[in-house]
Amino acid sequence: MSATIKLENKHFPVLLKELISIISPLYGGTFLDCTFGQGGYSKKILEDKKNKVIAVDRDKDVRLYAKELEKKYNSRFDFQNIKFSEINSIKFKSKNLKAVIFDLGYSINQIKDLSRGLSFKSTGKLNMKMGLNNFSCHEVISNMSEASLYKIFKYYGDEKHSKKIARKIVEIRKKKIINTEELIKIIDSIKKFKFTKINNSTKVFQALRIFVNKEISELIYGLINAYNLIPVGGIIAVVTFHSIEDKIVKFFFKNYSETKNSSRYSPVEENNIKCFNVKNKKPITPCNEEIKINPPSRSAKLRFAVKINNECNFEEFINKFKQLTDIEDLPLDK
């Protein structure tokens, strides 16, 4: 967060009422907020004096908001600056964990902080680091091969012009450093005759952000660790904002909540263990009123599931998305 970003920037926690209605029957224990941000969910949960919250976030700058809650709620609130793929490292004082919550969106402060490079209005060197990163977007654009850039744009952004954009980036960077403005120019030059409702750069920026922050493996192992942490009867709730995230969460809940047959004619597999009870088959989405107040919420989807046993193996889940996680390991060198 740059010095120009102040605490008063208004952030709207997405689907807050819906989330609280799901977890409130479990009130009277500890709740794990895996994406603290500006603390919208945590604040609401802590309004009930029976509750405790452990919040985590990879972004160290959110400590400004965490300190406010630490001061107000003392021992009922604890913040840790870790990635949610690392929540298995948390030492719980009590075994009374009721729910694990993920909101995979970005706060207004993160978007308005132009030094992060998440906004198309950003200037200068490409960044996109959300905290605890190994490299920046600048290193990706400056060093990765054309083939690797193509894969990132295609699989993380579903960008139809991935090949042309990757080729143009490699061509341009031989002559000059590619900053945020230059990357936008490259994309616009290739998609100049394409008229769509979204900004030309949206898909490429999304793909680069996912790659820089390793968002696919973060989500996969965050979900697995959440399952391992909560007791039977506990809830995992996830708010997603784009199709890759939702596809992963949907598979995680659905695949491990339904009895599967190896074929339509064979008997039910005896070794198939159901991990979750999924009460809502379809995701919960924002109402028109919320979208009017907070337009970015229009793409949000809330899915949740109740854990029903302790014996699940998620090898199939990991393998299902191996192609996507393998891209995260592409080398930075040309």
Q: Residue 228's CB: how many other CB atoms inside 10 A?
A: 13
- 73: its two tokens: 């709620």
CATH fold, domain 16-103+215-316, is: Rossmann fold (3.40.50)
- Which runs of consecutive H residues, i.e. helices, occur in the chain? 16-23, 40-46, 63-73, 108-112, 137-143, 146-157, 162-173, 180-190, 202-212, 215-229, 243-255, 288-293, 315-320, 322-327
Architecture of domain 113-213: Orthogonal Bundle (1.10)
Query: Domain residue spans in the chain?
Result: 16-103+215-316, 113-213
State the pLDDT at residue 198: 83
Please state, in angstroms and rounded to a whole number, the distance separating the CA atoms of residues 260 and 244. Answer: 23
pLDDT tens for 106-154 read 766 666 776 776 777 788 889 999 999 999 999 999 999 999 999 999 9
pLDDT tens for 50-68 read 999 999 999 999 999 999 9
State the pLDDT at residue 113: 74
pTM (2 decimals)? 0.92
Q: Residue 99's CB: how many other CB atoms inside 10 A?
A: 25
The strand pairing partners of 238, in sequence order, are: 102, 303
Q: Residue 270's CB: how many other CB atoms inside 10 A?
A: 6
* Helix (H), strand (E) at residue 114: none
Residue pair 88/225 in contact by the 8 Å Cβ criterion: yes
Residue pair 242/154 in contact by the 8 Å Cβ criterion: no
State the pLDDT at residue 196: 64
In this prediction, residue 291 has a pLDDT band, given cuts at 50, 70 and 90, of: very high
Residue pair 252/281 in contact by the 8 Å Cβ criterion: no
Residue pair 239/103 in contact by the 8 Å Cβ criterion: yes
Percent pLDDT > 90 in the chain is 81
Query: Running DSSP on this structure, what letter comes out for residue 284?
Result: B
State the pLDDT at residue 270: 44
For residue 220, what are the CA distances in angstroms to 112, 206, 225, 252, 320?
28, 18, 9, 9, 11
Please state, in angstroms and rounded to a whole number, the distance separating the CA atoms of residues 136 and 178. Answer: 13
Q: How does the average pLDDT of the chain come out, rounded?
A: 90
Q: Residue 7's CB: how many other CB atoms inside 10 A?
A: 9
